[in-house]
Structures are given as structure tokens and as C-alpha cells.
Amino acid sequence: MGTEAVWVPYALAALGAGAGAINARNVAKQQERIQVRGIAAQARRQAEADARFADATREIGRSSPEAERAEALDNFTSQLRASKASAEGDASGPAGSDRYQTEAAGAKADIQRYGGQLADITSRINAPARQRDREKVGLRRAGSDVAGIARNAQGDAFLTQLLAQSVRPNTALSIAGPLLSGAAQGMAGGGWGTGVSSEELVAGQRAGMETIMEGLHRARRTPIVI
């Protein structure tokens, strides 16, 4: 074997290192793809939550106390009608003079007018508080919906993390990398491409070892002089 084959161990070492690098790059790329998908999923959840809040906010913008006012007024008016006779008092007994009758009729009208005014005012004062109760019910519903979206987003994030962590390097490349590097080291250590035969190399190594052992043996027998 000639010295021209000396590059082979280097090439194998490079291949081994390359296989490791390709593996690491593939893992990183796959994790990055998972992360990008995860970010997009989070953005979709965010958009979902934003849309839900936008709806709730628009409801507030459109909200008016009119429905509550009309309902309250209707209830008050019904009650006034039901209690009209009691409010006007007992009408039995002698009819009385014309003047008395006119005044009595006026008093009855006053009672009705006062009742109407009071019902109108009370319903207008009540309505804004009822309106806000209704708005808060809507907002509590929105809050509940968004809490559900938040839970889904947390689930998505956990899944993304799990997927990214579970990415494994390619098995064939994982095995090939160290094998190639080992082979390269072995070949370089064996004097691949240097022009020396393996028998000569072994003989040389053995002679070297014997020299080292002899030196050690001599050193043990030499007394120490201070």
C-alpha cells in the first residue's frame, strides 16, 4: 500500500463529523418547525380570544337601558292598576255636593298622575343598574369563554413543548458518525498510507516497549543518593 492513501482516514473522520452535524441540524430544524407551528397555534387562540372580547365590547357599545326601563314601567303600571281602588279610597256612602264630587274626581286624577310620574321616574332610575347587570352577565360569559380558550392555548403550548422535546436524531446517522470516526482513528493509528507494513509497525512497537521496561527495571535497582 502506497503513501497516496494517507487521506482515507481524514476523509472518514470528516464523514463521521459530518454525519453528526447533519443529524444535529435535522433535529434543530424539526424542533424549529414544531415551534413555528406552536406559535401559529397560539396566535390563532389569541385571535379567537380577541374576537370574543370584540363581540362583548360591541355589545356594551350598543347597550341601552330602554328595554329594562320599558319592562320596569310595565310592571309598575300593572301594579298601579291592580291597586287603583285601594289608592283612591272608599267611594261608598252619600254622593255629596257637586263641588265635593268635582274635587273627589280631581283627587283621583291626581293619585293616578302621581302614580304614573313615580312609576316613570322609578323605572328610569332602576333601568341603568339593571342594564349594567345585563352587561356584566355578558362580560362574565365572555370571561368564561376566554378562560376556555386560555386552557386550550395552554394545552397547545404543552403539546408543542412535548413534540419539540420528543424529536430524536436519525438512528442510522447516529450509528454511522461514531463508526466512521472510530474507523478513521483506527486507520490513522495503524499507519494507514504511511508505507510501513503492519508487521514492521508491530515489531517496532514491541522493541520500544522493551526499552521502556528495561529502563524502569534499572531505575528500581539504583540506590537513591542524597
Partner 1 sequence: MGAGSSDRAARRAEQAEAERQEQMRIGEARVNAAYDTPARQQQYADFLKAIREGFMLDANRQKAVADRRLKFALARAGQTRGSVETDQKRTLGEEFTKGIIGSENRAQGALADLKADDENTRQALISMIRSGADATTAASRMMSLGAANAEGARSRALTDGLGDIFAGTTDVYLRSEDAAARRRGARDAQVSLYGKPFTG
Contacting residues toward partner 1, per CB under 8 A: 21, 24-25, 28-29, 31-32, 35-36, 39-40, 42-43, 45-50, 53-54, 56-58, 60-61, 64-65, 114, 117-118, 121-122, 124-126, 128-129, 131-133, 135-136, 139-140, 142-144, 146-147, 149-151, 153-154
How far apart, in whole angstroms, are the C-alpha atoms of residue 159 and residue 165?
10
Q: Whole-number minimum distance, CB 22 to partner 1, in Å?
A: 9
What is the chain's alpha carbon radius of gyration, rounded to the nearest angstrom? 49
Nearer to partner 1, 8 or 167 (CB): 167
For residue 180, give the C-alpha cell. 466512521
Q: Whole-number minimum distance, CB 25 to partner 1, in Å?
A: 5
Nearer to partner 1, 15 or 183 (CB): 15
Q: Whole-number minimum distance, CB 161 to partner 1, in Å?
A: 13
CA-based nearest residue to 56, from 127, 154, 124, 134: 134
Nearer to partner 1, 117 or 211 (CB): 117
Nearer to partner 1, 8 or 80 (CB): 80
- Residue 114 CA, chain-centre distance (Å), reads 60
Question: With contact defined as beta carbons under 8 Å apart, do 15 and 180 qualify?
Answer: yes
Nearer to partner 1, 170 or 185 (CB): 170
The amino acid at residue 187 is: M
Question: With contact defined as beta carbons under 8 Å apart, do 5 and 184 qualify?
Answer: no
Q: Whole-number minimum distance, CB 143 to partner 1, in Å?
A: 3
Question: With contact defined as beta carbons under 8 Å apart, do 125 and 24 qualify?
Answer: no
Q: Whole-number minimum distance, CB 121 to partner 1, in Å?
A: 4
How far apart, in whole angstroms, are the C-alpha atoms of residue 81 and residue 23?
87
